[in-house]
């Protein structure tokens, strides 16, 4: 799985091919999404229920988050079903 994902990402950054950057991006993302949806080894990580994510964020960035809207985070995020774990990432300031 990791090897295939790496190949997809390398294809995206390969400047020697003649595909447009948008095509390479969509091709890469479609392969990655397909792998995550259908790969048999990932079913053991399936979880349905409440999970928590803790992160530090500036107030003016937090105001951009709204219910029923899509967001994109480009940083690594982790989740837990234990709320206390995510509270370690919060800050009182």
The dihedral region occupied by 47, where left means phi > 0, alpha psi between -120 and 50, and beta the remainder, is: beta
pTM of the model: 0.40
Domain ranges of the chain: 1-46, 47-93
- CA dihedral of residues 86, 87, 91, 92 (deg, nearest 10): 160
**Collapsed DSSP state (helix, strand, coil) of residue 74:** coil
> How far is the C-alpha of 16 from the C-alpha of 81, rounded, in Å?
44
pLDDT tens, residue by residue, 11-66: 777 777 777 878 777 887 887 788 777 777 777 877 889 988 877 778 888 888 88
Only one residue has tokens 């530090």, namely: 56
Helix (H) or strand (E) holding 29: helix 21-38
């Amino acid at each position: 799985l990791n090897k295939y994902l790496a190949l997809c990402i390398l294809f995206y950054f390969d400047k020697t091919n003649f595909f447009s950057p948008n095509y390479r991006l969509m091709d890469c993302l479609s392969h990655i999404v397909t792998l995550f949806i259908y790969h048999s080894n990932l079913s053991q990580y399936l979880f349905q229920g409440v999970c928590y994510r803790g992160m530090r964020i500036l107030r003016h960035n937090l105001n951009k988050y709204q219910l029923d809207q899509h967001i994109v985070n480009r940083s690594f995020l982790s989740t837990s079903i234990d709320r206390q774990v995510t509270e370690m990432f919060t800050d009182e300031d």
